[in-house]
Amino acid sequence: MARDSYHHGNLRQALVNSTVRLIEEKGPQGFTLAEAARAVGVSAAAPYRHFTGRDELLEEIARQGFDEFADRLEAALKLGRTPLSAFLGMGQAYLGFAAERRGYYTAMFESGISIAGNAALAQAADRARGTLVRAAETLLQRIPEGRRPPASMAADHIWALSHGVVELFSRGKPGGRSPISPSDMLESGTLIYLRGLGVITE
């Protein structure tokens, strides 16, 4: 790309975009800032006008990823005709994001950055988790109050299940040879979990 393409405040986002592609190709630890700069046609020193270093660039990618991730979860929540269909739809949105935005997903969950150390990143991550918690709160209303588990715990269980399906069945890992699709794997696992809690009784 031509150097003059980034003379109007676009360099920061251009570096993010180029780094996302590098993460997809080489993993979160397999690239340098100099490579990201070279990919957009600027000097190796240019990224330091926008980022203090590699970790800050990864944090910005993760922040943008969590923002989009939260948007997708919120959209799935609104589309659900029932609390259960909304909850299941959010699981499918999780899988869709992981498949379609691999570089962002990897930066969010596999780059080793500290979410707590970056306020904007932490806020974006909390928004995504908060959407799952709200959905779980609505769904768990079916359980009598004295037996109702914390919504945050149920949300985290489903998050962990979703992440496990992505890692084992959606990314060429050994479990990827399963005859059951990642989508069906996640939905069936979620339904088994919810039946165990007593949310589903039929």
Query: Tokens for 35?
Result: 């490579």
pTM of the model as a whole: 0.89
Q: Using CA atoms, how far apart are residues 83 and 144, in angstroms rounded to an integer?
A: 16
Determine the 3-state secondary structure of 134 from DSSP.
helix
Q: Using CA atoms, how far apart are residues 65 and 110, in angstroms rounded to an integer?
A: 13
Give the CATH fold of the 58-197 domain. Answer: Tetracycline Repressor; domain 2 (1.10.357)
Residue 73, Cβ density class (10 Å: 0-12 exposed, 13-18 middle, ≥19 buried): buried
Q: Using CA atoms, how far apart are residues 70 and 19, in angstroms rounded to an integer?
A: 21
What percentage of the chain has pLDDT greater than the value 70? Answer: 92
Determine the 3-state secondary structure of 71 from DSSP.
helix
What is the per-residue pLDDT across 155-164, written as a single tens digit (0 to 9) for each? 999 999 999 9
Determine the 3-state secondary structure of 9 from DSSP.
coil
The closest alpha carbon to 23, from 88, 104, 80, belongs to 104
Q: Using CA atoms, how far apart are residues 154 and 139, in angstroms rounded to an integer?
A: 10
What is the per-residue pLDDT across 105-119, written as a single tens digit (0 to 9) for each? 999 998 888 898 899
Q: Which CATH architecture has domain 1-51?
A: Orthogonal Bundle (1.10)
What is the per-residue pLDDT across 43-60, written as a single tens digit (0 to 9) for each? 888 888 888 888 999 999
Name 35's Cβ contacts closer than 8 Å, sequence gap at least 6.
Answer: 22
- Rounded to the nearest 10°, the torsion over CA 87, 191, 102, 13 is 10
Domain boundaries, the chain: 1-51, 58-197
Altogether, the residues listed in the chain come to a count of: 202
Angle formed at CA 158 by CA 153 and CA 161, multiple of 5 degrees: 125
The whole-chain average pLDDT of the chain stands at: 89
103 within 8 A of 60, measured Cβ to Cβ: no
Do the two domains 1-51 and 58-197 of this chain adopt the same fold? no
Determine the 3-state secondary structure of 81 from DSSP.
coil
The rounded Cα 126 to chain-centroid distance in angstroms is 12
Instruction: Examine the pLDDT at 2 and tell me if it is beyond 80.
Output: no
